[in-house]
Structure 1
Amino acid sequence: MQDRRNAFTAVSLFSGAGGMDVGFSQAGFDIVFANDVDKDACATYRLNHTGEIHHGSLLDPGVGGMLTQKDVDLVFGGPPCQGFSVAGKMDPDDERSRLIHSFFDVVDRLQPKAFVCENVKALGFLNRWADVRAALMRRGRKNHRVALVILNATDFGVPQIRERMFLVGLHRDIFDGTDKDLQAYLETGLDAQRAAPTTVSDIVRSLGKAGSETNPRVCAAKITYARSPILRKSPYAGMMFNGAGRPLPAKKWATTLPASMGGNKTPIIDEAEIFDGEQSFVEEYHRHLMNGGEPRTGCAPDRLRRLTVDECLAIQTFPANYRLAGSRSAQYRQIGNAVPPMLAAAVANVVARGLDGGAALQVAAE
């Protein structure tokens, strides 16, 4: 499905730095309108995408009034999700609550053939968000068949454990089936695109050591030992060092990269383990503590350091030549807020095939 050539038109909302846009462009969508409230993200978008992005909130009539496209094939985007986290306490009157509904306001206005609304996993399954979820499903069902899938980015070639919800709609005029049929179509199409990710170690080695010409954008936040370590069974959980940026296993995948990166919330790696083949310092120190050893104090050894901007881009599967605007902290924030392009492309490919008629054909065959 990656080899499609015919382009569909798309409107991108809450575009950020353009992670979803990269994936949907790769699947054959021509993005005719993009929007975000973050100035740095808009500047990044302009550096990498040919289409124009409009800065401002969708709740601003000046921005919403620009959405006059006709015959749009797709509306996609990821409304702000902080309030829908596991610990979220979303106020129905909070602007973020209004913004997720503003996505469907645009769907109602443009009547696209399809829509894709991305958000955190918690919104897709927690009972506390059941009413919000049901309201969104009702809005989507006005003119579309709808289905909800929860995906882990690692299943689609992304070296990062990042679970996200995708609410997908295909217009009733082009999908001759039920919501249940659409659910089956999506799951089957996505299963066909599963791919094994590379490892954190592979990515870091491909870029070179931090501070080198090919990996220059380093994080300066120091790593010190936690005075009162919080231990878990895994060396890569708990808290053995300062800050919320935990160590990453070199031979596996990263945990979810947060938008708060850039300081001591930036994940940690072990250069000596990755480049020189030495035993993991993190695992060794974890064993020491688990066996009753005293916590160490002061700075951790220099072999431990935090992920660079370029490593974070690669872990998110942005193209190698992707450029970022803004300060170093703004760059980390944009990366952490993004949907991994490879994950977005997997969803986009299935939607594109549905627009091509593949979904209807599959339903008919069944």
Structure 2
Amino acid sequence: MSNNQLTAVSLFTGAGGMDVGFERAGIKVVFANELMKEAAQTYRANHPNSLMVNDDIHNIMDSLDQYEGADLVFGGPPCQGFSVAGKMDPDDDRSKLIFTFLDVVERVKPRAFVMENVKALGILEKWEPVRKKYLDRARALGYYCMPFILNATEFNVSQKRERVFFIGIKNGNDPFFEYNMTNLLEEQKKKAPTVRELLHSLGRAGTESNPNTCTAKITFATQPIMRKSPYAGMYFNGQGRPINVDDYANTLPASMGGNKTPFVDEDYLYGSATEDWVVAYHKGLMDGTITPEFEEAPTRLRRITVNEAIRIQTFPDDYVFCGNKGRIYTQIGNAVPCNMAEAVAKAVVEYLKEHSTEGEA
């Protein structure tokens, strides 16, 4: 397929964040699969030329044989079983889906595959047996595979989101694969803007360009867990934390929509305030001049909107999301940031150009 556009099969597609990145790298997605109904609807709304099958991946295995010979298989299987934020249960059925991903690779026999997952799967000693089993299986299928730990902030994403990308090359016999792929990924690096720089043009929440979408109240914790940084610790109830708009957001969770939604100081981000309200509050807690009480925070503190979350995940501003607000926040939080996926895709495409496996059985 070296003279034609590269083709790909997309698995565990979600709303299509990874697909946006791969398409930007010049890859045509010929098949996509997603279990969540609303995410599949979102995908179809934005990728009308790709086939999206909304079903359990185990139900559609046989239909994938027709895509044998596609150049790439990519996707991010559900990661809750391996996530530090989750229960880290290797027996969680979702943990087995990384091997289902390889079942598809076995059928499609692509020139390369890219599987995204949480950083823990790539580095934690606890998951070493799972990693070994995965890499051994990939090797048995004829792929040289390595895990690469990447931070989204280095790839033009204003979010501290570290992930592992397992990249496999068919019939790979390059003794310097890790070195060469690392260099290609380095070439794709681009410093991300701060959250302020990224969001400022949207304007205040409640305007036409930035509708208010999360009304979950922000209340003070009566027994705060203190840290040196105003943006660490737990000074507010719920798991939604303040975002330092002069830096990068922490990982946006799939559980956004209620009190797990991160928040910003509206007046500091979009108005004339010269200091984030959270900084002064934290200082008062630290020096004892403020005694925490259970009450609502000032209205200038508010949860991030859907449009702000879309930007932080580097989806296009006009990307259409389907479902209720909670489902939309979930789709955004579950996604691989588009810019990060684009960087990985471009590095893999370049590697395939430089180390062609065409014609090798």
Q: Do they fold alike, i.e. is TM over 0.5? A: yes
Alignment counterpart, residue 30 of structure 2, candidates 29, 32, 39: 32
Residue 233 of structure 2 aligns to which amino acid in structure 1?
Answer: G
* C-alpha distance 53-360 of structure 1, shift in aligned 2 (>3 A): closer
* Deviation by residue 1:197-216 (Cα, 9 ceiling, x = unmatched): 11111233111111100011
1:23 maps to 21
1:348 maps to 345
Query: d(CA) in 1 for partners of 2:266 and 2:326?
Result: 22
Query: d(CA) in 2 for partners of 1:115 and 1:290?
Result: 49
Matched, 1:298 2:295: yes
2:239 maps to 244
Q: CA deviation at 1:246?
A: 0.4
Q: Contact between 1:147 and 1:183, CA under 8 Å: does it hold in 2?
A: yes
Q: CA deviation at 1:25?
A: 0.5
Matched, 1:289 2:301: no
Instruction: Judge which range, 21-30 or 221-230, deviates more.
Output: 221-230
Q: CA deviation at 1:57?
A: 1.3
Matched, 1:187 2:182: yes
Q: Contact between 1:59 and 1:99, CA under 8 Å: does it hold in 2?
A: no
1:355-366 equivalences in 2 (<5 Å): 355-356=352-353, 358-359=354-355
Q: Contact between 1:222 and 1:264, CA under 8 Å: does it hold in 2?
A: yes
1:103 maps to 101
1:147 maps to 146
Q: Contact between 1:226 and 1:241, CA under 8 Å: does it hold in 2?
A: yes
1:131-210 equivalences in 2 (<5 Å): 131-142=129-140, 143-172=142-171, 175-178=172-175, 181-210=176-205
Which blocks of at least 5 consecutive residues in structure 2 are unaligned? none
Q: CA deviation at 1:71?
A: 1.2
Aligned length: 350
SS of match in other structure, 2:57? coil
Alignment counterpart, residue 319 of structure 2, candidates 319, 322, 325: 322
Residue 211 of structure 1 aligns to which amino acid in structure 2?
Answer: G
Matched, 1:270 2:265: yes
Q: CA deviation at 1:192?
A: 1.0
Query: d(CA) in 2 for partners of 1:345 and 1:217?
Result: 30
Q: CA deviation at 1:217?
A: 4.3
SS of match in other structure, 1:269? strand
> What is the root-mean-square deviation of aligned Cα atoms in Å?
1.6
Q: CA deviation at 1:176?
A: 4.3
Q: CA deviation at 1:277?
A: 3.4
Q: Contact between 1:245 and 1:264, CA under 8 Å: does it hold in 2?
A: yes
2:335 maps to 338
TM-score normalised by L of structure 2:
0.94
Q: CA deviation at 1:22?
A: 0.3
Q: CA deviation at 1:360?
A: 5.9
Residue 268 of structure 1 aligns to which amino acid in structure 2?
Answer: F
Q: Contact between 1:42 and 1:53, CA under 8 Å: does it hold in 2?
A: yes
SS of match in other structure, 2:22? helix
SS of match in other structure, 2:117? strand
Query: d(CA) in 1 for partners of 2:124 and 2:87?
Result: 11
Which blocks of at least 5 consecutive residues in structure 1 are unaligned? 362-366
Matched, 1:313 2:328: no
Query: d(CA) in 2 for partners of 1:32 and 1:117?
Result: 17
Q: CA deviation at 1:140?
A: 1.4
Residue 236 of structure 2 aligns to which amino acid in structure 1?
Answer: F
2:276 maps to 280
Instruction: Judge which range, 17-26 or 290-299, deviates more.
Output: 290-299
1:215 maps to 210
How many percent of aligned residue pairs carry the same amino acid? Answer: 49
* C-alpha distance 162-89 of structure 1, shift in aligned 2 (>3 A): closer
Query: d(CA) in 2 for partners of 1:346 and 1:10?
Result: 16
2:46 maps to 48
Q: Contact between 2:73 and 2:105, CA under 8 Å: does it hold in 1?
A: yes
TM-score normalised by L of structure 1:
0.92
Q: CA deviation at 1:97?
A: 2.7
SS of match in other structure, 1:188? helix
1:90 maps to 89
Instruction: Judge which range, 187-196 or 83-92, deviates more.
Output: 83-92
Q: CA deviation at 1:88?
A: 3.3
Q: Contact between 1:12 and 1:21, CA under 8 Å: does it hold in 2?
A: yes
Residue 32 of structure 1 aligns to which amino acid in structure 2?
Answer: V
* Deviation by residue 1:274-328 (Cα, 9 ceiling, x = unmatched): 1223111000000000001311431111110000000000000001110100000
Q: Contact between 1:124 and 1:150, CA under 8 Å: does it hold in 2?
A: yes
Residue 35 of structure 1 aligns to which amino acid in structure 2?
Answer: N
1:51-70 equivalences in 2 (<5 Å): 51-60=50-59, 63-67=60-64, 68-70=66-68
